[in-house]
Amino acid sequence: MGADRAERVATAGRSAPAGVGRVAAELLHLAELELELVTAGRGDELSDVHDRRDAAIAQLPDELAAPAQATLRLALGIQREAAVALAAALADHGREVAAAARGRTAARGYTPAGLDRRRVLDRTA
């Protein structure tokens, strides 16, 4: 994404109304940040990125110049990569939770018969 991305971002606003190129570049940056956070396992930071993305999208006009459209298409492609990576991470997490639940069920099998499972603070109750 290095120099190629920089060139695309630099040309994004040349024929666009003032600010549109900047907003498109911000959306591209946010897509890259989202992908970085997802691949680093930092999903707890995604909410802020999504809020910033929503605010940037709200600034876009109905009609976009071709360079801004190209930048947004690039951002969309990166965001799709992030969505695929997030889906994979969620599937992995689901498998881990299921394995933990199976382990807990197996551990219950070792509970002595007749044990009172109620949780109490002390034995005087």
Q: Which residue has the higher pLDDT, 40 or 12?
A: 40
Mean pLDDT, residues 49-65: 94
**Domains in the chain: boundaries:** 2-108
Q: Is the pLDDT of residue 15 over 50?
A: no
For the chain, the three-class secondary structure string (H helix, E strand, C coil) is CHHHHHHHHHHHCCCCCCCHHHHHHHHHHHHHHHHHHHHCCCHHHHHHHHHHHHHHHHCCCCCCCHHHHHHHHHHHHHHHHHHHHHHHHHHHHHHHHHHHHHHHHHHHCCCCCCCCCCCCCCCCC
Answer yes or no: pTM beyond 0.85.
no
